[in-house]
Amino acid sequence: MRHFDHVDALHRKHLFFRQPRGFDRHDPPDVLAVALGATLYSPAIRPGLAGDIAKAARRGVTSMVLCLEDAVADGDLAAAEANLVAQLGRLDDTGREPPLLFVRVRTPEQIGDLIVRLGAAAGLVSGFVLPKFTASTGGAFLEAVAEAADRTGLRLLAMPVIESRQAVYRETRTELLQDVARLLAKHRERVLAVRIGATDMSAAYGLRRPPDLTIYDIGPVAGVISDVVNILGRADGTGFVVTGPVWEYFSAGERMFKPQLRQTPFDALSAAPLRQRLITSDMDGLIREVHLDKANGLMGKTVIHPSHVAAVHALSVVTHEEYCDASDIVGESGGGAMASVYANKMNEAKPHRTWAERLMLRAQVFGVAAEGVTFVELLDAAGGR
C-alpha cells in the first residue's frame, strides 16, 4: 500500500517533493499508526462487504474497521458475524492486498472465535478495535488478542477506544485514564493507537454536534479529548498515537454560519467548483476539524464515508515549509535557534525536536508536497472532485 498510489504517476511527480513510501501490515507499529490516515468504518453486516473493501482500496483507503458493535443491531449480531467470515473468505480468495483491516468486537470472546472461524482469511485481519475501553474491562480484551496471536502466529494489534462514561465524567476521568495508561503500558507491543469515541462521549450529555461546528466547539467533549491526549498521548515515550474522532456528516442541511474555507486558494487554481462542492456537502467542517486535530496532537481520523478520505489524506501530507523546518531542527544536535528557511518564524532545536521527529515520520508515509503545491491541489488529486 502507498498513500496517493491511486493518483497517476506523472501527476504524483508534480505534487510531491518526496513521494510517500510504501507500507504493509507487517511494518513496525509506529509506522502503521501514522499510516492509518482516514480509517473508514463499515458495518460488518453489509452484504457486499468484500466488494466495498476492494472499491475503497481503489479510492485510496488504507485502513478500515469492520464493525460488529454499535453499527449492528443486537438481533443481527449472529448474521453480521457470519457475513464477516464469508466476505473476508471471498476477499481472501481474490489474492489481492486489502487495506489494513480491523474488526470492532463487542466482547473478548468474539476475538478468538472469529479468528478460528475465519481460517486462512484471518491473515487479512491486522487487529481488533476494543470498544468502551476501561482498565477493568480492557485487560480481558488485550489478553484475548494476545492469545489469538500466539495460537495462530499472526501479528494482531489492538486499538482501544476511549468512550465510556467513566472516561467522560470529570470525577472519574483522571483516575480511569491513568489506570488505562498503566494497562496499555503492559501491552505496549500490542497497542497500535488509541481511538476516541466522540459519539458516545457526546451521548453522555445528550449532545450531537451540528455539521457547522467542530468537536472542539463542544466544551464537555473537548475537555475529554484534551485529557486523553494529556495522559495517553504524551511525547515522552510513554504515550501512543491518538486518532481523531469520527466525522459523521456527508450531506449538508441548512447552514447557519459562513463557509469555513477561504476562497482565494481555490480561485488561484481555478477550483471554485471544488470549493462549492465541499461546502455543499459540509466538508469544510471536516477540513477544519482535521486541522484542529493536528494542532491538538491527534493523527488520522475515523470516517464513515469514502468521500471523507481525500480531505484527511491531503491534510496529512507534510508541506514543503514544514519539512524544511523539521530538517533543520533534526540536523541541529547542539541546540540553539535559527531562522526558518521560509524566513517567517524561529526554529528552536531543543523544544521543537519532538515535533520535528514526529513530522518526519509522517513525511515518510504521506510524503512531502512540492514547493508551492497547496492542500487544494492535493485534495483535487486525491479525489476531492
Binding site residue list for Mg(2+): 200
Q: How many CB atoms lie within 10 A of CB 142?
A: 22
CA nearest 131: which of 85, 77, 186, 71?
71
Cα four-point dihedral sign 277, 259, 379, 32: negative
Question: Which three cell numbers mark 374?
Answer: 497547496
Residue with cell 481472501: 92
130: which strand partners?
A: 160
The number of helix segments (H) and strand segments (E) in the chain equals 17, 12
Beta strands in 172-218 (DSSP E): 195-196
Binding-site residues, in ranges, read: 200
- Yes or no: say if 250 and 281 are a contact pair by the CB < 8 Å rule: yes
Beta strand 63-67 pairing with 38-43 = parallel
